[in-house]
Structure 1
Amino acid sequence: MSRTRALQALASRAGLYVVLLLAAALFVLPGLWMVTASLNSNDAVFSYPPRFFPTQWNWENYRTVFEVQPFARQYLNSLYIAVLATAGTVLVSTMAGYALARFRFRGRNGIFLLLISGILIPEEVTVVPLYRIVNSLGLIDTHWPLIVLPIFSGGGVIATFIMRQAFLSLPKELEDAARLDGLGRWGTYWRVAVPLVRPTVAVVVILSVYNSWNMFLEPLIFLRTPENFTLPLVLTEIEDAYGTQLWNVQMAATTLSILAVLVVFVAAQRHVIAGLTAGSVKG
């Protein structure tokens, strides 16, 4: 009987692993095809059936990325825009979320509802007024709109909502104890509340980097010169002197563009897991 149960458990586990492998393949195979296409010839990119291993390894596709566009400059553009926008989003969302969660003042719930209702406004509706404002400030073809707008637009609102909910989940007794030890509002916020919600901050970092790194509509509207372009715009501009799309070179640029996001995700994921693990063992 025990042998039969062991075989049933083994078969059940094997079936689970097969399902998980098939689910993982749905996510891995497109990425594998992208890397393969980046090393293929332009004609072989759309071969059918798809080739997951190139017949000829064309590493020069990666060199061509830097020849058809000022790719290094554009990569740095996206990098520092994402860093500044993420830092601003984390700072503003944690402060606003803490204020909405802990401060008692008239109209607090109304302000929160008004803030959340902004998510319901489609981004496309705000394009014209935002363009007029940015143009009147003389910031067209600069990176300032791409840094400031994510902090106060839909992504910033969602980050504020997430941080508010995280601060609401903290026991008030911890902050009361901190104030008894002589900490003021700022000290309680910075030295007690924020460290306790570090996993949530890591989630906000991931979301903010993702949103900033993938912005396309805003750079398309506000940027003019290729030297100021960000990566999403670059990926639509990779072509030869005759205007032919270089799909293999585009896949090479795409492969390079996702590396920074993967690094941020892996680094932030460690903090999320560490915070969740620490919370599970504390009584």
Structure 2
Amino acid sequence: MRVTQTAASPVVRRQPSKGYQEAMRRKQVRTTTWRTLVTIIVVLGALIILAPVLWMLSTSVKSLPDTQAFPPQWIPQTLHWDNFVSSLTFLPFGTFALNTVIVTAACLVGDVLVNSFIAYAFAKIQAPGRNVLFLFVLSTLMIPFPVLMIPQFLLFKTFGWIDTLLPLIVPSFFGNAFYIFMFRQFYLTIPRELSDAARIDGCSHFGIYWRIMLPLIRPALATVAIFSFTFNWNDYLSPLIYLDSQEHYTLTLGLASFIGRYGAQPWNLLMAASLVTVLPCVILYFFAQKYFIQGIVVSGVKG
């Protein structure tokens, strides 16, 4: 034991025992080993998840014979950048992209505005049977889409909407239970005093929704916008059901048109076109991931 004494007061400093030092060293080794193991597992998992994406990148710059080589080559000897030009000019991808943009933009507006307004009513307006009605809305999540395909097709056929973009757009303006649930959970985190003060000042429910609530739920709006954009941009089943003529095709149907157009499957051109098709979703998530994560956390925990 080492004793240090000063004029003010004596200070006693004890050296850690060898047993304590050894225990701390073992704990540090265990912590370092565990973190290293977790890092290795996460990296391996990320590589497994990214393997299809890396293979798509590799195949998009290969020649057609190289895509059929065995064993497969991850890095081709010659990079064929002209595959992107060939893939986008072989079919009218400009028309496909325009149709997809129209459908995605219209559905995004409907999903964001309509569902946020419906959720505001469920969260902030006191009405008899409100909770029961909300349970009925949530129960529609248990109805699979294949059950609705034939009734919806017959309905849209009666309206004369087959082979138009309307069956892909109009349903987004009639509410989505999942989006309504997300918006409602976010509204519940906003103090009721804000809407009460606005109502005392003479603001209507629509004014409260438009002027007060929408600016406060930007993370939820961004989250629903990302979900809506990704789903409608990549939707294949609905366009396959309702669209017949090529001038109304979306990008997903255009990609499917590659199969059978050549004598052999043009995997290089298909991968090149697929890479260009998925880029908007990747770019959108890259710039909006902050709001996306915040919206998921708040709407999923609070309420």
TM-score normalised over the length of structure 2: 0.82
Q: Which residue of 2 aligns with 1:183?
A: 203
Alignment of 1:1-283 (within 5 A): 1=21, 9-152=31-174, 156-239=176-259, 241-272=261-292
Deviations 1:135-161 (A, max 9, x none): 2222221111111224447xx221011
Paired with 2:109 and 2:263, the residues of 1 have a C-alpha distance of: 38
Q: Is the 8 A contact 1:198 1:272 kept in 2?
A: no
State the SS of the aligned residue for 2:256: coil
Measure, in 1, the Cα distance between the counterparts of 2:199 and 2:293.
Answer: 29
Distance 2:222 2:42 in 1: 26
Is the CA contact (8 Å cut-off) linking 1:68 and 1:240 kept in structure 2?
no
Whether contact under 8 Å (2:141, 2:177) holds in the other structure is yes
Count of aligned positions? 277
CA contact (8 A) 1:150 1:212 kept: no
Map Cα deviations across residues 230-264 of structure 1 (whole Å, 9 max, x no partner): 11111211146555321111111110110111122
Question: What do the CA deviations read for 1:88-115 (whole angstroms, capped 9, x no partner)?
Answer: 1000110000101111223322322222
How well do the aligned residues superpose, as a CA RMSD in angstroms? 2.6
Rate the CA distance shift 1:49–1:200 in 2: closer, same or farther, 3 A.
Answer: farther
- Alpha-carbon deviations, 1:32-88, whole Å to 9, x = none? 111111111223324444432122211121112123210121112112211110111
Unaligned runs of 5+ in 2: 1-20, 299-303
Tell me the alpha carbon deviations over residues 195-219 of structure 1, each in whole angstroms, 9 at most, x when there is no partner.
Answer: 2222122111111111111211111
Larger gyration radius, structure 1 or structure 2: 2
Flag the 1:186–1:106 CA change in 2: closer, same or farther, 3 A: same
State TM-score, norm by structure 1: 0.87
**Shift of residue 223, structure 1, vs aligned partner:** 0.8
Distance 1:113 1:158 in 2: 12
Instruction: Output the CA distance in 1 between the equivalents of 2:262 and 2:71.
Output: 28
Unaligned runs of 5+ in 1: 279-283
Tell me if the contact between 2:112 and 2:224 (Cα under 8 Å) persists in the aligned partners.
Answer: yes
Report the CA distance shift for 1:5/1:227 in structure 2 as closer, same or farther (over 3 A).
same
Q: Percent identity?
A: 34
Residues 220 and 296 in structure 2, CA contact (< 8 A), matched pair in contact too: no
The CA distance in 2 between the partners of 1:276 and 1:51, in whole Å, is: 40
